[in-house]
């Protein structure tokens, strides 16, 4: 019964609000001391994904997946890379297609269900490196991709994959998309759409006959965006079909790799459907922790090491300490 009833997270004084926890780390957190070596992975479909490595000569690797419109240089990714290195692990941050600073070559890019791309990257890494243990860590969209990969039984999991941690994961895509359309989340919705439009314009520059942003200003929600772009580009009927096929809450019961999921109860992106308490109670491999505070990929902490709580918690789970 790996449901963690009492979380150890206590937010700093005056920083318990979910919006503060979600916004301040994005705007203010600086993570220093991480140096990347970039590897471009050429995919079988003549596209590419960029992998940013930070090695310590270890036989243990942690693969880190970012969230929607994130990349390897976001503070949450850098913070996780840094604490992995501090604990002696090699670490690599996967930039999803089109997220490493230049548009990818194909019309397709990435979305909440690209477990096929994660599978490609893992196989590529294992074919070219000697690791005895591999762990997966994902934030938000990246957490959903990992959950899908571990639970869908579509790909044979390499035996070296021993553990996973998923943070601020939207286990129910439909309810989260509708919640982000609410007035209280206007700030986040506008920010996501601004970044997504920039990606579309970058694609327009290289394939103007295949994609455009005409009347993009009429788009206000993920329902409208996914109906127009995500679904038709990636082979789904519409937004509802995309959400249904890439939602992962029903896959949790299939997960056999020890996995820790951390979702804050005041996360402004998540709904009650993203808190799988009953699944964790029934599972022997899926551990669920729901701190009262933390926001979306927040979990701020003030300490001399400048480490956030979720980073320390991840290391405790991965090392078994």
**2-19 per-position pLDDT tens digit:** 777 789 999 999 999 999
pLDDT number for residue 297? 98
CB-CB neighbours of 153 under 10 Å: 12
Of 41, 291, 69, 253, the C-alpha closest to 168 is: 291
Mean pLDDT of 187-203: 97
Helix or strand run (H / E) with residue 60: strand 60-65
User: Tokens representing 276?
Assistant: 């799988």
Backbone dihedral region of 98: left (phi > 0), alpha (psi from -120 to 50 degrees) or beta?
left
pLDDT number for residue 115? 98
**CA distance linking residue 12 with residue 303, whole number of Å:** 10
Of 243, 237, 233, 283, the C-alpha closest to 260 is: 283
The band of 173, judged by pLDDT with boundaries at 50, 70 and 90, is: very high
pLDDT number for residue 309? 98
pLDDT number for residue 321? 60
Question: Per DSSP, what are the bridge partners of residue 40?
Answer: 50
Measured CA to CA in angstroms, residue 209 lies from 46, 70, 122, 181, 225 at distances of 19, 27, 33, 30, 19
C-alpha gyration radius of the chain? 19
Mean pLDDT, the chain, rounded, equals 96
Q: Which domains does the chain have, with CATH numbers?
A: 3-172+256-319 (3.40.50.1820), 173-246 (no CATH)
**21-62 per-position pLDDT tens digit:** 999 999 999 999 999 999 999 999 999 999 999 999 999 999
Measured CA to CA in angstroms, residue 204 lies from 74, 91, 102, 218 at distances of 25, 34, 13, 18
**113-163 per-position pLDDT tens digit:** 999 999 999 999 999 999 999 999 999 999 999 999 999 989 999 999 999
């Amino acid at each position: 019964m790996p449901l963690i009833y009492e979380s150890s997270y206590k937010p700093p004084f005056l920083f318990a609000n979910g919006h503060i926890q979600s916004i301040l780390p994005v705007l203010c957190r600086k993570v220093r001391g991480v140096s990347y070596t970039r590897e471009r992975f050429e995919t079988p479909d003549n596209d590419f994904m960029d992998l940013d490595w930070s090695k310590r000569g270890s036989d243990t690797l942690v693969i880190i997946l970012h969230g929607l419109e994130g990349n390897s240089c976001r503070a949450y990714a850098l913070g996780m890379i840094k604490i992995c290195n501090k604990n002696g692990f090699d670490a690599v941050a996967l930039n999803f297609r089109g997220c490493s600073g230049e548009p990818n070559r194909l019309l397709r890019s990435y979305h909440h269900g690209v477990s096929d791309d994660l599978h490609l990257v893992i196989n590529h890494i294992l074919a070219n490196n000697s690791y005895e243990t591999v762990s997966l860590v994902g934030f938000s969209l990246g957490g959903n991709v990992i959950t899908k990969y571990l639970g869908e039984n579509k790909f044979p999991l390499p035996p070296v994959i021993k553990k996973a941690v998923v943070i601020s994961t939207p286990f129910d895509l439909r309810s989260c998309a509708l919640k982000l359309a609410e007035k209280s989340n206007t700030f986040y919705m506008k920010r996501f759409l601004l970044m997504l439009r920039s990606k579309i314009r970058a694609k327009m520059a290289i394939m103007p006959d295949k994609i455009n942003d005409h009347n993009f200003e009429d788009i206000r929600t993920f329902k409208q965006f996914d109906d127009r772009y995500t679904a038709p580009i990636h082979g789904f009927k519409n937004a509802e079909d995309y959400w249904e096929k890439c939602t992962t809450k029903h896959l949790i019961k299939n997960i056999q790799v020890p996995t820790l999921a951390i979702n804050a109860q005041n996360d402004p992106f998540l709904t009650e459907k993203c808190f799988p308490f009953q699944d964790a109670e029934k599972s022997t491999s899926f551990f669920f922790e729901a701190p009262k505070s933390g926001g979306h990929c927040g979990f701020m902490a003030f300490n001399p090491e400048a480490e956030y709580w979720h980073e320390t918690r991840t290391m405790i789970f991965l090392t078994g300490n």
